Chain A
Amino acid sequence: MPPVPIRVGLFVTCLVDLFRPSVGFAAVKLLEDAGCSVEVPAAQTCCGQPAYNSGDKADAKTIARQVIDAFDGFDYVVVPSGSCGGMIKQHYLELFADEPASYLRAQHLAKRTYELVSFLADVLKLERVEARYDGIATYHDSCSGLRELGVKQQPRKLLASVAGLSLRELPSAEICCGFGGTFCIKYPAISDRMVADKAADIVATGADTLLAGDMGCLLNMAGKLTRLGKAVRVRHVAEVLAGMAGETPPIGAARPERG
């Protein structure tokens, strides 16, 4: 009798849902290949971070409760984003610090919630993936994943097992790209300068591919690189690890005409 598979609830994140469903399917494939059964609760929208970081605690709580309800009962909750993962894993606890009943439920969820790549590497103990990607990639450590969740070596370890891929470190990998959620809306000029510096650093590595684990940062960096006319292919790390890069053009890149 086969072992009972681990039941994973996938929190898709609003940016993957809107901009890059391929990342969601790549996450599903990686999890299923690793022996998990994956479900996507229908009652999910966003983790509530935009409200939380705008000082709107009431709406942040409403949305957090919705996530807590929707993801009740899974063995694990996996998120293809360090930012949304950090929100659920750390900030929900702060949000409900003075509401004991909700705090306990938030804590129960937080303990089971992981960012995708660290879940594969740290929880499932995945050592390698079966994937091929021909290129020289550089990797940007998204801030929340890095500093809130300790995601650093996990993507590098798994990328090392991708056939055809070599990784060239980005010297400024740990410096913010300037996305910052609502920051890029409120202070676009500063955000733009920050991502210009980041783009220059990326280009200077000579890599032909930029990978990261967060759609916000990826949209920001891809948007700057295409505006500058740089031919760097930008992708979410899950697409490469799942071997699904061939199925969709890079973020912000031209698409073959349909039909």
Chain B
Amino acid sequence: MQPTSHAFKENARAALGNANLQKALTLMRSGFPERRAAAIARLPEFEALREEAKAIKNHVLEHLDFYLETFEQQVTARGGQVHWCRTPQEARETVLAICRRLDAKTVTKGKTMIAEEIALNDYLEENGVTPVETDLGEYIIQIRKEYPSHVIAPAIHLVKEQVAASFRATHTDLDPNRVLEEAPTLVAEARAVLRQKFLAADVGITGANFCIAETGSTIIVTNEGNGDLTQTLTKAHIVLASLEKLVPTLEDVSTILRVLARSATGQEFSTYTTVSTGPRRPEDTDGPGEFHVVFLDNGRSAMLGTEFQDMLRCIRCGACMNHCPVYATVGGHAYGWVYPGPMGAVLTPTLVGIGEAGHLPNASTFCGRCESVCPMKIPLPKMMRHWREREFEKQLSPAAYRYGLKLWAFFASHPPLYQAATALVTRLLGWVGGSRGRFRSLPLAQGWTQGRDMPAPEGRSFMSLWAERRKNGDAA
């Protein structure tokens, strides 16, 4: 997909005026944080587990080459194949080549953000292969021709009336008078439609929450079980993964799983945790005929050894966006690409460039709530600041803003001059503000005063009053 991150401000303005979106966001705002807080309150060792989980990923990132090679050896030993792809194009072509070789007409898909990152659905369709999303949220946005607005809840920007309308428009062979206004009826309809697709599919594509070096297995966690059918019924199971999904052992995965679902949805564990290891063996009753792991780099290896390395600990739980006050105000689509919210604000500039995505690391109040809930303790605000530093170095931020900053910094680094100026400005503004005590509009601050007043200064600067008090005190 073409990123629209450069148009973040316009996207945000549209989002603020979108009544359905605002309704959906209001529901989300309290739901996720409350459930997470409750789940964590029931687990006294949660903080210790966070530290452990962080240490596991840090270890992997320090020895990534070793674990990647080990993983490949294990996959190969079990009859599977690993494909290394540097770019989205290489990954798309790799997937298509497998589909073509197996003469695949339809592929079912479990939820995968990497497929979004490489815009796989559009590519497959252009090449005569029909992709069918089987995760309910992904299915909804597929029939609406949208893209996910959240990493674990792709259709969270919609209200159920919109979903019902989309189902009626798409499932035209069903009774037009059926009731679709409640979640269970929507799920039942999706399930009925998807069951046939599962049986007809030639290839199943899933993501991977983890890739286990020890066994060459991949793991997905879902709440719908759709991932299982996607991979067991087909001629081939293709796993789309990125480098940072590697974990040394199954034991390590069990540690990270304990923080994942709690951070994401507030569940103690996701409903399904599916381990996939190689293709079907002769003695197995089911399973895919082939097992492929497509590893996408897309700029990630270049993050190693930089100030952005910690971002590769991310396990895509969505806690940062669930707790982000900016995300809660504008929703995920405003961010203009696959990864929204705080983790997207750090990752997106890496993947599509800071020129395109410069707004994202700026559109944060640095309130720090994302970092405080991140199960992997990723210092998200700090890394957004690093992007701002790179932007500033490359002079990518608006010129007026940079000059204003320089002017302010000049005054701020010359205290006598600064204090003379502030003594004057406070007197002036205090006088103009007069008895109202606030301004309804102010030149240079119209963005502020459009929706709120600017309280007027009391009328004197503290430093000038303090100097007077000292002088009088000395005289006395």
Contacts and interface: CB of A to CB of B under 8 A. Distances in A.
A171 to B, nearest CB: 9
A224 B365 contact: no
Contact of B367 (A48, A180, A223): A180
A253 B456 CA distance: 9
B269 interface: no
B349 to A, nearest CB: 13
A45 B411 contact: yes
B453 A252 contact: yes
Nearest to B465: A21
B59 interface: no
B415 A66 contact: yes
Interface stretch (B168-176, B192-200, B274-282, B419-427): B419-427
Interface stretch (B181-189, B211-219, B294-302, B402-410): B402-410
A187 B457 contact: no
A55 B389 contact: yes
A257 B326 CA distance: 40
Contacts of B366: 53, 143-144, 180-181, 183
B366 to A, nearest CB: 6
Contacts of A231: none
B437 to A, nearest CB: 5
A96 B426 CA distance: 33
A193 B12 CA distance: 11
Contacts of A46: 412
Contacts, number: 213
Interface stretch (B85-93, B146-154, B232-240, B443-451): B443-451
Interface in A211-243: 219-220, 222-224, 226-227
Q: How large is the interface on A (under 10, 10 to 19, 20 to 34, 35 or more residues)?
A: 35 or more
Contacts of A205: none
A42 interface: yes
B458 A227 contact: no
Interface string B207-233: 000000000000000000000000000
A42 B419 CA distance: 9
B58 to A, nearest CB: 18
B392 A223 contact: no
Nearest to B390: A55
Contacts of A107: none
Interface string B438-476: 101000010110111111111011110111000000000
B325 A54 contact: no
Given A144-B368, A148-B368, A255-B435, A21 B452 contact: no
Nearest to A143: B367
The listed residue with most A CB atoms (<10 A of its CB), out of B329, B364, B371, B389, is: B329
B369 A174 contact: yes
Contacts of A222: 438, 453, 455
Contacts of B450: 188-189, 192
B392 A66 contact: no
A72 interface: no
A248 interface: yes
Contacts of B292: none
Contacts of A36: none
A54 B397 contact: yes
Contacts of A187: 9, 12, 362-363
A249 interface: yes
Contacts of A148: 368
B457 A18 contact: yes
B377 interface: no
A94 B387 CA distance: 15
Contacts of B391: 55
Contact of B369 (A45, A176, A249): A176
B413 interface: yes
B159 to A, nearest CB: 19
A19 B457 contact: yes
Interface in A114-158: 143-144, 147-148
Interface string A169-189: 000001110111101111111
Given A43-B415, A180-B365, A188-B447, A18 B388 contact: no
A20 interface: yes
Given A54-B405, A59-B409, A178-B365, A19 B435 contact: no
A40 B470 CA distance: 10
A185 B447 contact: yes
A76 interface: no
B462 A24 contact: yes
A56 B392 contact: yes
B365 A183 contact: yes
Interface string B311-327: 00000000000000110
A17 B427 CA distance: 12
Contacts of B369: 143, 147, 174-176
B308 to A, nearest CB: 15
Contacts of B440: 227
A197 B462 CA distance: 32
Interface of B: 9, 12-13, 16, 325-326, 329-330, 362-369, 371-372, 382, 385, 387-393, 397, 401, 405-406, 408-409, 411-413, 415, 418-419, 422, 425-426, 434-438, 440, 445, 447-448, 450-458, 460-463, 465-467
Nearest first, the 5 closest Cβ-Cβ pairs linking A and B are A180-B365, A188-B447, A55-B392, A55-B388, A252-B455
Given A44-B415, A55-B397, A179-B365, 7 more contacts: A18-B461, A48-B412, A174-B369, A180-B367, A194-B325, A226-B455, A258-B435
